[in-house]
Amino acid sequence: MAVLPRRDFLALGTAAAAAAMLPGKAFADIATGVKLHGLSAFGDLKYKADFTHFDYVNVDAPAGGIFNFSPPNWGYNQDTQTFNTLNSFADKGDAPPRMEMCFDGLMVRALDEPDAVYGQVADGVTLSDDRNSFTFSLRPEARFHDGSPLTAQDAAFAFKLYKEKGHPDLSLSLTHMVEATAVDDHALRLTFSGKQSARTVLNVVEFPILSKAFYTANPFDSSQMNPPLGSGAYKVGRFSAGAWIEYDRVPDHWGRDLPVNRGQNNFDRIRIEFYQNRTAGFEAFKKGEITYREEFTSRVWATAYDFPALSAGKVVKHEFPAEKRPTMQGTAVNQRRAQFRDARVRQAIALCFDFEWTRRNFFYGSYERSQSCFEKSDFRAEGPPSPQELALLEPLRGQLPAEVFSEAVVQPASDGSGRDRKLLGRAVKLLNAAGWKRSGDFVVNDKGGRLSAEFMVDDDTFVQVYSPWVANMKAVGIDATIRLVDSAQYQSRQATFDFDLLSAAFSFSATPTRDDIEAFFHSRTANLPGSRNLPGISNPAIDALIDLVGAAKNREDLNVAMRALDRVLRARCDWIPSWFLANHRSAYWDMFGFPEQKPDFGFPVEALWWVDKGKAAKIGKG
């Protein structure tokens, strides 16, 4: 998921410290009744209660300067091509990326651990004996940008609001929250029903805390263009709706010296420009109007980085290693449309995609074929099911495709010709078996209706990449087309599932919770507007496997459950896997400093980098 989609602690008691630091200890077994400075899924915290900063930051980084960039990831209702609201947490509208920088949360995630969180607004958390209630001790110095105190009343208000009206990225994790209570001004209790995953709390502690006063006086909806009152390291500065926005660093931010914040948020101003297509954004980068970008067009990366500023050494091309997190990039086949409910139709569409030809002609050999919904992780299924996987799958055998119980399904390699007759022949046979017979140029059902399939895209680049795929679909009789729409329409139609085929890329947590996985694959999100369940997956066997993901008591159990789930998703072809890249293809004007060691589980350049005044002066940007 895009995403957008990225602490003075009390000492632990002896029992709690032992539980929190014990490798492999299940979260549900961590000691109760004692204030903890951090939480992780299986108890393996890297940082002790007295840590002063994260290891991946430069605590001596200078503050100042402007960072003007094109965000490579985003979340919630955010859009990188336009914006029409400043409420990033509602379930409608288009918000600018990085609005979350304007808010603090109870705790924040460490980027060099797979799932650990440490206190920000909260200086600690205490678990109840039944582990269904979490009481957070809030720092009395926490403040909103207008100087008003941030209290437990604000936090309780925010959690209730998210549960009732929040974007699905927020509301889904709060499904089983039954109470958010301000015990007093500095104590917040979140209580769950007992049906939640043991790891649900790791999601909700990061949620932005909103001002109760602000959202009592202002509507919580997508019409909001009044900058919301926040408490974070940045606040909304100048902006022009749909064109650009600036976030100004708060020099007297209440939490600037907390261990989880030290060495971060170094730019005085972060500016985001909005462009309708990638070509316009690249031209702006070449001129120095944008100073950092990640390149997602292989042709441009291979052939277009020859402009004067790069030749003069003012611009740097560099590949940074990708995060150690599962990623999914593929095409959602919308099963809310009747013609796509038969898996054989989805498989036939997949066989029409000639990745080998596309890789050679469009990608300059730079991408690898994706096969899994959890690529680049231990959750990717390999070979036949292990005995541990079979133990989970066998009780569901009657509800699963037979392919689940043999070798993990992979998309076959083509001959690279662009029109592999063998694979297209298999596609025709699958369509025939699904009841689609040839009639003239197209296949039709028993009522004479054509099998139509329309790709929805929001950039000319995808028109080029998907045109050969569409041509192959036409060759087997599918009435295939591509529709290019503007960004606002794309966002709206995606949120309301008004499409046939739509491609997307997402990144999961290194330790996914049940809530994370439900958002993409569970029956209850199939018709939830704004959810990530783009194909409309609704299957009780998948639901059962997601429950097993949530019930995992250690990392090995999690790996087994996730591999079993991956095996099923691949056999069903709900998502047609496309491609992935092993690294970040980054380009930037040579005016920045950054930590030598990139963290394994995140890459928020805007938070970790800084302006190097010497470098900036050397290239005329001082």
Per-residue DSSP letters for 152-187? HHHHHHHHHHHHHHB-HHHHGGGTTEEEEEEEETTE
Q: What's the mean pLDDT in 393-415?
A: 97
Q: What's the mean pLDDT in 467-477?
A: 98
Tens digits of residue pLDDT in 218-231: 999 988 899 999 99
pLDDT given at position 356? 97
Would you say residue 436 has pLDDT above 60? Answer: yes
- Average pLDDT value for the chain: 93
pLDDT given at position 27? 52
Tokens of 527: 């018709």
Q: What's the mean pLDDT in 181-189?
A: 97
Q: What's the mean pLDDT in 486-493?
A: 91
Tokens of 372: 């899994």
Of 424 and 461, more confident: 424
pLDDT given at position 277? 86
Cα 134 from Cα 290, distance rounded (Å): 43
pLDDT tier, 19 (very low <50, low <70, confident <90, very high otherwise) = very low
The count of other CB atoms within 10 Å of the CB of residue 384 is 12
Of residues 524, 601, 542, the one with CA closest to residue 326: 601
Q: What's the mean pLDDT in 512-541?
A: 95
Partner residues linked to 386 by β-bridges: none
pLDDT given at position 6? 29
pLDDT given at position 488? 87
Q: What's the mean pLDDT in 192-210?
A: 93
Would you say residue 196 has pLDDT above 70? Answer: yes
pTM: 0.89
Cα 488 from Cα 469, distance rounded (Å): 25
Contact 119, 38 (CB under 8 A): yes
Of residues 433, 434, 415, 432, the one with CA closest to residue 423: 415
pLDDT tier, 12 (very low <50, low <70, confident <90, very high otherwise) = very low
Would you say residue 9 has pLDDT above 50? Answer: no
Contact 515, 552 (CB under 8 A): no
Cα 611 from Cα 622, distance rounded (Å): 9
Lookup result for tokens 């109870």: 106
Contact 456, 490 (CB under 8 A): yes
pLDDT given at position 617? 96
Question: How much of the chain, in percent, has pLDDT values that exceed 90?
Answer: 89
Q: What's the mean pLDDT in 175-195?
A: 96
SS3 category, 269: strand
Radius of gyration of the chain (CA): 25
Q: What's the mean pLDDT in 368-372?
A: 95
Cα 517 from Cα 523, distance rounded (Å): 11
Q: At what angle do helices 421-433 and 343-351 cross, to 10 degrees?
A: 170
Q: What's the mean pLDDT in 334-354?
A: 98
Q: What's the mean pLDDT in 454-482?
A: 96
Q: What's the mean pLDDT in 439-461?
A: 95
Please tell me what DSSP assigns to residue 590. S
CA dihedral (338, 342, 348, 349) positive or negative: positive
Question: How many residues are there in the chain?
Answer: 622
Tens digits of residue pLDDT in 115-160: 999 999 999 999 999 999 999 999 999 999 999 999 999 999 999 9
Paired sense of beta strands 437-439 and 442-444, if any:
antiparallel
pLDDT tier, 28 (very low <50, low <70, confident <90, very high otherwise) = low
Q: What's the mean pLDDT in 481-496?
A: 94
pLDDT given at position 31? 75
Q: Tell me the Ramachandran region of residue 347: left when phi exceeds 0, alpha when psi lies from -120 to 50, beta otherwise.
A: alpha
Partner residues linked to 125 by β-bridges: 36, 136
Of 543 and 22, more confident: 543
Tens digits of residue pLDDT in 81-113: 999 999 999 999 999 999 999 999 999 999 999
What is the CA angle 242-79-162, rounded to 5?
A: 110
- Residue 540: enclosing H or E segment and its boundaries? helix 540-551
pLDDT tier, 276 (very low <50, low <70, confident <90, very high otherwise) = confident
pLDDT tier, 167 (very low <50, low <70, confident <90, very high otherwise) = very high
